[in-house]
Amino acid sequence: MSWRTKYLANRLSQKYGELGRVASKYVLAGHSVQLRGDHIIVKGKGFNAVITLAKSRKEIRDSARKAKDIASKLGPSYRPVLVIYGSYRVPRDALEEIRGDGVLVKRFKP
């Protein structure tokens, strides 16, 4: 990992807050990252994804639906990913419904 990737990751975290923290993890992993509004587009190393954040229980289904819509517009190689930001509990039925729609669910604890 070079100093440039560390610098870019720190700048993303400082400038974009919670969305930047998630994006910086993908930058440190070696992926190419683009921030567009309220979602992240990740490319590289055989992994293309559209990432949306859910900061509360109320936002989970809406964020998953948004990720799926954006990924379908970008093409079949992009995978929708929902990042649950925080340490709150998520209902099991909601997770099963989201995973059934083909959305990958990840958790990010700050």
Closest CA to 51 of 109, 108, 95: 108
Beta strands at 78-85 and 104-108: parallel, antiparallel or unpaired: parallel
Say which residues have a Cβ less than 8 Å from residue 10's Cβ, sequence separation at least 6: 24
Share of the chain above pLDDT 70, in %: 100
Confidence of residue 45 (pLDDT cuts 50, 70, 90): confident
**For the chain, how many structural domains are there in total?**
1
DSSP state for residue 87 in the 8-state scheme: S
- Whichever domain contains 22, its CATH number is 3.40.1350
Question: How large is the angle between the packed helices 60-74 and 92-100, nearest 10 degrees?
Answer: 10
Whether pLDDT at 20 is above 90: yes
Question: Once rounded to an integer, what is the mean pLDDT over residues 68-79?
Answer: 95
**Residue range of the domain that includes 31:** 3-108
